[in-house]
């Protein structure tokens, strides 16, 4: 086996394992293939260079894999790919302004959930009467933390 083929096997193995760790989630063919290519390269290096040469190739592969993974995880290049936006708003923040007994209309069909308008607020509502058609008049029965329970008026 030529030295070029051994180096090619080891390089492709490292490349596939790096893809497995950084890009492709889970255990996939890339990771398994990378490990097999590296193992084959190390095996052929034992055959080509003997025990001492095989040990040196194996040790260098372990060191190269550790250095590449540590460097790629610590480098700042991945910051460009990460989401760094902080959300500071909440959904249905106007619910606290709606009281029990308030009236409104259905903006969409409540089956049993849908959009309602109570006063000037448009929020998600849930019907206790089953299905309510669009533009039906409703009355607020209960205000929960994230939704409004309504009945047909």
For the chain, which residues make up each domain, given as ranges? Answer: 3-76, 97-152
Q: What pLDDT digit, counting tens, does each position of 77-117 carry?
A: 667 767 777 777 665 456 777 889 999 999 999 988 999 99
Q: What is the pTM of this model?
A: 0.49
* Calpha distance 153→18 (Å, rounded): 62
* Calpha distance 4→6 (Å, rounded): 5
Strand-strand pairing, 148-152 and 103-106: unpaired
For residue 61, what pLDDT is reported? 92
Structure tokens at 139: 């009355």
Task: Let me know if domain 97-152 sits in CATH 1.10.357.10.
Answer: no
């Amino acid at each position: 086996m030529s030295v070029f083929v051994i180096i090619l096997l080891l390089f492709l193995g490292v490349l596939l394992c790096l893809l497995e760790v950084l890009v492709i989630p889970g255990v996939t063919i890339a990771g398994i293939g990378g490990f097999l290519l590296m193992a084959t390269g190390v095996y052929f290096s034992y055959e080509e260079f003997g025990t001492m040469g095989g040990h040196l190739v194996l040790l260098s592969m372990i060191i190269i894999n550790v250095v590449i993974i540590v460097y790629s995880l610590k480098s700042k290049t991945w910051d460009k790919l990460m989401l760094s936006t902080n959300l500071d708003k909440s959904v249905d923040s106007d619910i606290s302004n709606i009281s029990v007994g308030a009236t409104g209309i259905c903006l969409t069909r409540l089956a049993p959930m849908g959009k309602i308008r109570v006063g000037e607020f448009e929020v998600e509502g849930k019907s206790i009467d089953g299905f309510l058609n669009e533009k039906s008049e409703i009355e607020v029965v209960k205000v929960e933390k994230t939704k409004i329970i309504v009945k047909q008026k």
